Amino acid sequence: MDVPLYLRPRIEPPLASLLGAAPFLHSLVDALGSPLNVLLPETIAENAARFRAVYRRHRLTGRLYFAHKANRSSALVRRLAAEDPAAVGIDVASLEELRHALSCGITGDRVMATGPKDPEFLWLAARVGATVNLDSPRELEQLAALVRGHGLGRVRVLARLSGFESTAGQSGAGTRVLSRRSRFGTPVRDAETLWSALERHSDAVELIGLAYHLDTTGLEEKVRALEQCVLLMDACRERGLAPRAVDIGGGFGVGYVADAGEWQRWTTALSEAVLGGRPPLTWRGHGYGLRNEGGTVRGSVALYPGHRPDAGPGYLDGLLSLPAPVLGREPGTLLLEHLHDLHIEPGRSLVDQCGLSLARVLDVRGTGADPDPYLVRLGMNAGDVSLEEHGVLMDPVLLSRGDPSGDGRDGDPEAERPVGVHLVGNLCLEADLITRRLVFLPRLPRPGDVLAFVNTAGYAMDFHAHHAQRQPSARTVAVEREGDSWRWCPDEDYWPITHPGGTPA
Amino acid sequence: MRYDSITDAIGNTPLVRIDPAVHGLRNIDLYAKLEMLNPFGSVKDRPAWHMARPHLEGAGDGEGTVVELSSGNTAKALALLAGMHGLKFKSVTNRMRVPEIKELLLLLGAEIEELPGRSECLDPTDTDDPLTHFHQVLTEPGSTYLHTDQYFNPRNVEAHAAGTGPEIVKDLDGRAPDWFVACVGTAGSSTGVARVLREHDPDVRVLGLVAHKSDFIPGIRTIDEVHQVGLFDPATYDTIESVTSGEAIDGMLTLIRRCGLLSGPTGGAAYQGAVRHLRDADEALEGAGRRETAVFIVCDRAESYLSYVRARRPELLGRTSRVPTLATLTEDDVRTDARSVGVDDARRWIAEGDPRPLVVDMRSPHAYAALHIEGSVNIVDELFEELVRGGLPFSKRTPVLLACPVGEKSLRHAALLTRMGHPDVRSLAGGIVAWRDAGAPLVRE
Confidence class for position A406, pLDDT limits 50, 70, 90 = very low
Domain boundaries, chain B: 6-42+154-317, 45-119+126-147, 326-437
B172 Cβ partners below 8 Å, 6+ apart? Answer: B15, B31, B293, B295
Tell me the chain B residues in contact with residue A182 when contact means C-beta distances shorter than 8 Å: none
The domain B6-42+154-317 is placed in CATH, from the list 3.40.50.2000, 3.40.50.1100, 3.40.50.300, 3.40.50.2300, at: 3.40.50.1100
3-state secondary structure of B285: helix
Integer Rg of chain A from CA:
25
Read off the pLDDT band of A168 (50, 70, 90): very low
3-state secondary structure A176-229: EECCCCCCCCEEHHHHHHHHHHHHHCCCCEEEEEEECCCCCCCHHHHHHHHHHH
The mean pLDDT of chain A is 90
Three-state secondary-structure class, residue A467: coil
CA–CA separation, B287 and A450 (whole Å): 63
A183 touches chain B (CB under 8 A): no
* pLDDT value at A182 more than 90: no
Q: Please tell me which residue, A403 or A476, carries the higher pLDDT value.
A: A476
Mean pLDDT of A93-106: 98
Which chain A residues are closer than 8 Å to B131 by Cβ? 300
- Check whether A361 has a pLDDT greater than 90: yes
Going residue by residue through chain B (445 aa), what tens digit of pLDDT does each one get? 899 999 999 999 999 999 999 999 999 999 999 999 999 999 999 999 999 998 888 766 667 899 998 888 999 999 999 999 999 999 988 767 788 888 899 999 999 988 877 777 666 566 556 677 777 778 777 788 888 989 889 999 999 999 999 999 999 999 999 999 999 999 999 999 999 999 999 999 999 999 987 788 998 998 888 888 888 888 899 999 999 999 999 999 999 999 999 999 999 999 999 999 999 999 999 999 899 999 999 999 999 999 889 878 878 887 555 566 777 788 888 888 899 999 999 999 999 999 999 999 999 999 999 999 999 999 998 889 888 877 888 899 999 999 999 999 999 999 999 988 899 999 999 999 999 999 999 998 7
CATH architecture of B326-437: 3-Layer(aba) Sandwich (3.40)
Q: Give the closest residue to A342 by CA, choosing from A222, A498, A211.
A: A211
Q: Can you say whether the dihedral through the CA atoms of B231, B236, B240, B246 is positive or negative?
A: negative
**A 192-251 near B (Cβ less than 8 A):** 215-221, 230-231, 233-234, 237-238, 250-251
Say if CB B339 and CB B416 are below 8 A apart: no
Contact check, Cβ <8 Å, B124/A390: yes
Torsion, Cα B250 B253 B258 B262, to 10 degrees, reads 140
Contact B97, B305 (CB under 8 A): no
Catalogue all structural domains in chain A, each as residue range(s) with its CATH number. 13-40+353-493 (2.40.37.10), 41-253+304-343 (3.20.20.10), 260-298 (no CATH)
Question: In sequence order, what are the beta bridge partners of B181?
Answer: B207, B296
A chain contacts of residue B369, beta-carbon cutoff 8 Å: 234
pLDDT tens track for A365-405: 986 666 778 999 999 999 999 999 899 999 999 999 865 44
Q: A308-352: per-residue pLDDT in tens?
A: 988 999 999 999 998 888 888 899 999 999 999 999 999 999 999
**Fold annotation for B45-119+126-147:** Rossmann fold (3.40.50)
Topology match between the domains B6-42+154-317 and B45-119+126-147: yes
What integer is the mean pLDDT of A477-493?
93
Contacts of A237 in chain B (CB under 8 A): 370, 444
- Mean pLDDT for A434-456 is 96
The pLDDT of residue A404: 43
Cα-atom radius of gyration of chain B, to the nearest Å? Answer: 29
Give whole-number Cα distances, A5 to A8, A69, A286, A393, B116, in Å: 9, 33, 16, 12, 30
Contact between B74 and B48 (Cβ < 8 Å): yes
* Residue type (1 letter), A226: L
Nearest to B116 among A216, A272, A299 (CB): A216
Task: Report the pLDDT value the prediction gives residue A203, as an integer from 0 to 100.
Answer: 96
Residue B331 burial (C-beta neighbours within 10 Å; 0-12, 13-18, 19+):
exposed
Nearest-by-CA chain B residue for A174: B111
Please, which pLDDT band fits residue A408 given cuts at 50, 70 and 90?
A: very low
**Across the A/B interface, how many CB contacts are shorter than 8 Å?**
142
Interface test with B, best of A257, A297, A339, A390 (most B CBs within 10 A): A339
Instruction: Tell me whether residue B195 is exposed, middle or buried, using C-beta atoms within 10 angstroms of its C-beta: 0 to 12, 13 to 18, 19 or more.
Output: middle
User: Residue A344 in contact with residue A89, Cβ under 8 Å?
Assistant: no
The angle formed by the CA atoms of residues A364, A366 and A371, to the nearest 5 degrees, is 145
Q: Do A296 and B230 touch (CB under 8 A)?
A: yes
> What pLDDT score was predicted for residue B393?
87
Q: What's the rounded Cα separation, in Å, for the pair B101 and B99?
A: 5
d(C-alpha B376, C-alpha B431), whole Å: 13
Q: How far apart are CA B166 and CA B193, in angstroms?
A: 8
Q: What's the CA angle centered on A388, arms A423 and A23, to 5 degrees?
A: 55
Name which of A23, A1, A5, A7 is nearest A449 in CA terms.
A23
Substitution target in A298, A329, A337 with the highest count of B β-carbons within 10 Å is A337
For residue B122, give the chain A residue with the closest CA. A390
Q: Between helices A191-200 and A137-149, what is the axis angle to 10°?
A: 10
Interval A283-297: pLDDT, tens: 988 999 888 888 888
